[in-house]
DNA sequence: CATGAATGAGTATTCATTCAT
DNA sequence: AATGAATGAATACTCATTCAT
């Protein structure tokens, strides 16, 4: 796990810009978090990727754990998902959220910007990060999406939709199963859409199986 | 990540039983793998959980990596899933696979036997284990299930169903989102079932969105 | 340091022959001793080369140290050297001892039978082996050869001749310097001979330099 | 092999001086190298002798091997020998080189500064160090000294003289044979001198023995 | 006589972290 | 604000050795 780009030019003591340094560290941390997870990444690697001295991790974040927590919290995907949940009508939600997920991580093997509450699942073995992920999912899906669903078990149905997106993201961005790794958005959309329809519509009164 | 039970009282040299020792190590490894992932678990922890001297990991497996690979490969869930794919008619598959997934890992926070190709996703940041998971998913879903699906994109639809199961397992067993963590099988089944119906049926001729 | 031949056919629990096993272990130990020295060789390697179970080292010798001591002590070269010192006239000694040294270790890079008090110098970093070597050299040279030399400083002159042989052996068998590694016996002999003549003859009354 | 002085009292974090730390490590490594050889010395021992934290070995040298290679390469004796070969007339060379050798290692049992391409022979079982020693000997003797010798086989005769010095050093500094361990320089000199005369003079046309 | 199982101490090396400049 | 020096605890893995069969 040393792959990510060495980044940054070695230019003397480095430009003295606290904000930029902080932000570079966070970006590097996000990248490494999605690849190696919490325990699989060292602060040295992160600092190297950010082109920054290792000890600045401690200056700016206090500890490896806090750096990674902040990195995990800082997710564009999460923000976008939440915005979508407020603005977009239910029937367009599946496609919109699919787009968020697809943008969030580059296709498997690619090297684009890593992001998304989803890719961070890799880091779920670390307790504090798992809690953070759980909170995010709860707010965004169980609560926000759930409250918009008619019929029985709204939280559960919302979470099941989240499950599909999470599984999809994992298989596409991390594991690389043959179909999901390469299928384009437009082929994918109708299927995700129909899962959404099934889960978002009020279920028929449950006949015990 | 030192939580799992210290197991076994330190009671003299331990009974001399190669097969049992090997198996205890594998069980302990599976447990730790699902909790801390590959890099998050030390061989010492595994050995302690198994109530076994640390060096026996190397006697029996040669390296941490090989121990965890074998542990990851040894999955009842995988076997059952594949059996189901051969014996069970398509319309009963969703429920059957759901049961496999639910049995595979104990509900979040519990301490039962950890298992399943799914729960091991935690370990997906380690390359060799990720490949193993990828192979398993490809064989079981993309190929075996895919070959049974009528209509277009069979592998993709098979993988999407796998994605739902994976996401479900992760959220229930690992992350613990409020609804999925506690919902019982019978409440869950109809929803998973209807996702299965949507994905397993031949899709209508796709109208470009 | 795992090179030496795996030896011995894997033929069931192995022929039950205490003497042969002991002797195989000693031979393997000599071989490894000259290559990796005491600390650079593990009992497992020795046992593997001997085609024997590792624990037999302890059955037959009690400890790694004792195995290697016995191996170091068992030197054909030493025996031959001592015999030469008794039987051979002074003026033929240099050539005779040269032959002992040349036979003792195969030319550098070759894989013949390793032997000789000389090659064991490699193992001189281990205290008990160093003492053994010291004893051997003292008896053979300082005492036996020394007692045959006329004139002043006989022990010293005997040891200086030993030094030449030791250095020669080391450079030829172990280090592989360009000339000594390849020169044949007949080219070498006259030079060693003339050193012998200089050292064995009674020195002129020393004029303080 | 834990003998060498534990050095330096454990007195707080130690003075912050990179150059001094590096150099202390090298000195300690040289000392241990001549006593225990490569495999017989642990980085902990070296660090302890240097009065330095063990991890600094890796900060400054990257690995045990690189530390010991650099330690072995850093030899005053080698420098002096080479200087002598340039400046000193042939007939004074034996005595000059003898002095280098005698200065290089303290008399057996003493605890002075260890040095010299010669004493490092102990470490010759480690491949990279053996190569280094071989290179040094080749340059200094086979080539530099060889090129100054008239007559046949100049490299060989140069190497034979090196062999005498090496054997002498080993027996005096490492093995401790009775005469060589204690004899003073002035007693030793005439004998080494006469060996030099024999080897440096053009040999009589070789009559096949 | 021979072997496999088990063990504790040790090895090189890396990590997160702190201190002084 | 940024850096290099220093540190202690941990990690994977190996070793010599003993015990039970």
State the Cα–Cα distance between residues B69 and B64, nearest whole angstrom: 9
The nucleotide lying nearest D61 (C-alpha to C1') is E13
Domain end point (choices D72, D104, D135) = D72
CA separation (Å) from A109 to A2, A18, A70, A185, C44?
15, 32, 25, 17, 43
pLDDT at position A10: 46
Q: Mean pLDDT across the stretch D51-71?
A: 96
Q: Please give the mean pLDDT across all residues of chain D.
A: 86
Protein-to-nucleotide distance from the CA of B58 to the C1' of F14, whole angstroms = 9
State the Cα–Cα distance between residues D96 and D102, nearest whole angstrom: 10
Q: Does a structural domain hold residue A13? A: no
Q: Mean pLDDT across the stretch B178-203?
A: 96
Domain end point (choices A54, A72, A90) = A72
User: Percentage of residues in chain A with pLDDT exceeding 90?
Assistant: 56
pLDDT at position B1: 47
Q: Is residue B184 helix, strand or coil?
A: coil
State pLDDT tens for residues A19-38. Answer: 899 999 999 998 898 888 89
Q: Which residues of B touch A206 (CB under 8 A)?
A: 187, 190
Are the Cβ atoms of A165 and B167 closer than 8 angstroms? yes
Mean pLDDT check: name the lowest of A58-67, B68-77, D94-103. B68-77
| pLDDT of C117 above 70 | no
Tell whether C132 and C32 lie within a shared domain.
no
Length of chain C in terms of residues written: 209
| pLDDT of D12 above 50 | yes
Chains with ≥3 CB–CB distances under 8 Å to C: D
The nucleotide lying nearest C67 (C-alpha to C1') is F16
pLDDT at position D97: 93
Quick check: B58 CB within 7 A of strand F?
yes
State the Cα–Cα distance between residues D43 and D65, nearest whole angstrom: 10
Q: Mean pLDDT across the stretch B178-183?
A: 96
Q: Mean pLDDT across the stretch C148-166?
A: 96
pLDDT band at B145 (very low <50, low <70, confident <90, very high): very high
Residues in Cβ contact with A142 at an 8 Å cutoff, skipping those fewer than 6 apart: A155, A158, A159, B177, B178, B179
User: CATH number of the domain that C105 lies in?
Assistant: 1.10.357.10
State pLDDT tens for residues C35-83. Answer: 888 999 999 999 999 999 999 999 999 999 999 999 988 877 778 888 8
Quick check: D23 CB within 7 A of strand E?
no
Q: Does a structural domain hold residue C207? A: no
Are the Cβ atoms of D168 and C163 closer than 8 angstroms? yes
State pLDDT tens for residues B91-130. Answer: 999 999 999 888 765 544 445 555 555 566 777 788 898 8
Q: Is residue B170 helix, strand or coil?
A: helix
Quick check: B138 CB within 7 A of strand E?
no
Q: Does a structural domain hold residue D49? A: yes
Tell whether A65 and A80 lie within a shared domain.
no
Residues in Cβ contact with C76 at an 8 Å cutoff, skipping those fewer than 6 apart: C104, C115, C116
Q: Does a structural domain hold residue D57? A: yes
Task: Give the closest of D35, D159, D174 to C171, CB-based.
Answer: D159
Protein-to-nucleotide distance from the CA of C50 to the C1' of E1, whole angstroms = 16
Residues 155-174 (D) near nucleic chain E, CB < 7 A: none
| pLDDT of C108 above 50 | no
Tell whether B140 and B60 lie within a shared domain.
no
Tell whether D117 and D158 lie within a shared domain.
yes
Are the Cβ atoms of D153 and C179 closer than 8 angstroms? yes
Task: Give the closest of D121, D122, D159 to C179, CB-based.
Answer: D159
The alpha helices in chain D, defined as continuous H runs, are 18-36, 43-50, 56-61, 64-73, 76-87, 93-104, 116-119, 127-137, 154-169, 178-182, 185-200
| Closest CA-bearing residue to C1' of F19 | B13
pLDDT band at A11 (very low <50, low <70, confident <90, very high): very low
The nucleotide lying nearest C20 (C-alpha to C1') is E1
Q: Which helix (H) or strand (E) holds A30?
A: helix A18-36
User: CATH number of the domain that D45 lies in?
Assistant: 1.10.10.60
Q: Mean pLDDT across the stretch C100-125?
A: 61
Tell whether B31 and B119 lie within a shared domain.
no
Q: Mean pLDDT across the stretch A104-116?
A: 50
Mean pLDDT check: name the lowest of A41-50, B6-15, B178-187, D34-43. B6-15
- Kindly give the interhelix angle for A76-87 and A93-104, rounded to the nearest 10 degrees: 170
pLDDT at position A107: 44
CB-side neighbour CA atoms (13 Å) of C172: 27
State the Cα–Cα distance between residues C94 and C185, nearest whole angstrom: 12
The model carries a pTM of: 0.87
D66's tokens: 């690189």
Q: Please give the mean pLDDT across all residues of chain A.
A: 85
Q: How many folded domains does chain C comprise?
A: 2
| pLDDT of D34 above 50 | yes
Residue B35's domain spans which residues?
A: 18-72
Q: How far is C77 from chain D (nearest CA, A)?
A: 17
Protein-to-nucleotide distance from the CA of D23 to the C1' of F3, whole angstroms = 22
Quick check: B188 CB within 7 A of strand E?
no
Q: Which helix (H) or strand (E) holds B181?
A: helix B178-182
Q: Does a structural domain hold residue B6? A: no
Tell whether D68 and D113 lie within a shared domain.
no
Q: Does a structural domain hold residue C160? A: yes
Tell whether D176 and D81 lie within a shared domain.
yes
CA D152 to chain centroid, in Å, comes to 28
Residues 66-105 (D) near nucleic chain E, CB < 7 A: none
| pLDDT of A9 above 50 | no
Q: Does a structural domain hold residue A45? A: yes
Q: Does a structural domain hold residue A195? A: yes
State pLDDT tens for residues B71-87. Answer: 988 877 788 888 899 89
Tell whether C53 and C126 lie within a shared domain.
no
pLDDT at position A63: 97
Chains with ≥3 CB–CB distances under 8 Å to A: B
The nucleotide lying nearest B51 (C-alpha to C1') is E6
Q: List bases in chain F with any atom under 7 Å of a protein Cβ.
A: 1-21
Quick check: B20 CB within 7 A of strand F?
no
Chains with ≥3 CB–CB distances under 8 Å to D: C
The alpha helices in C107-153, defined as continuous H runs, are 116-119, 127-137
Domain end point (choices B32, B56, B72) = B72
Are the Cβ atoms of C153 and D179 closer than 8 angstroms? yes
Tell whether D50 and D121 lie within a shared domain.
no
**Bigger pLDDT: C179 vs B36:** C179
For the CA atoms of chain B, what is the radius of gyration? 19
Q: Which residues of C touch D31 (CB under 8 A)?
A: none
State the Cα–Cα distance between residues A125 and A121, nearest whole angstrom: 8
Q: What is the dihedral of CA C98, C99, C100, C104, to 10 degrees?
A: 110
Tell whether A131 and A145 lie within a shared domain.
yes
State the Cα–Cα distance between residues B77 and B73, nearest whole angstrom: 10
Protein-to-nucleotide distance from the CA of A74 to the C1' of F7, whole angstroms = 33
Q: Do chains C and A touch (3 or more CB pairs under 8 A)?
A: no
Tell whether A192 and A127 lie within a shared domain.
yes
User: Percentage of residues in chain B with pLDDT exceeding 70?
Assistant: 83
DSSP-derived secondary structure for D8-66: S---TT----HHHHHHHHHHHHHHHHHHHTTTT--HHHHHHHHTS-TTHHHHHHSSHHH
pLDDT at position B108: 42
Tell whether B159 and B65 lie within a shared domain.
no
What is the chain B residue with the closest CA to A128? B175
Q: What is the dihedral of CA C66, C71, C74, C76, to 10 degrees?
A: -170
């Amino acid at each position: 796990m040393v792959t990510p780009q060495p980044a940054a030019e070695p230019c003397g003591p480095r430009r003295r810009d606290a904000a930029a340094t902080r932000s570079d560290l966070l970006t590097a941390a996000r990248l490494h978090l999605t690849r190696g997870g919490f325990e699989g990444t060292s602060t040295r690697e992160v600092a190297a990727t950010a082109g920054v001295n290792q000890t600045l991790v401690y200056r700016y974040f206090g500890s490896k754990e806090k750096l990674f927590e902040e990195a995990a919290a800082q997710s564009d995907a999460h923000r976008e998902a939440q915005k979508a949940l407020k603005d977009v009508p239910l029937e367009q939600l599946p496609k919109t959220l699919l787009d968020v997920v697809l943008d969030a991580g580059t296709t498997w093997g690619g090297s684009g910007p890593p992001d998304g509450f989803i890719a961070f699942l890799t880091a779920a073995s670390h307790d504090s990060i798992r809690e953070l992920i759980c909170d995010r999912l709860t707010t965004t899906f169980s609560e926000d999406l759930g409250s918009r669903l008619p019929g029985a078990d709204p939280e559960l149905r919302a979470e099941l939709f989240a499950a599909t997106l999470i599984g999809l993201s994992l298989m596409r961005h991390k594991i690389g199963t043959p179909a999901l790794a390469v299928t384009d958005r437009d082929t994918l959309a109708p299927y995700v859409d129909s899962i959404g329809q099934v889960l978002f519509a009020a279920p028929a009164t449950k006949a015990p199986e």
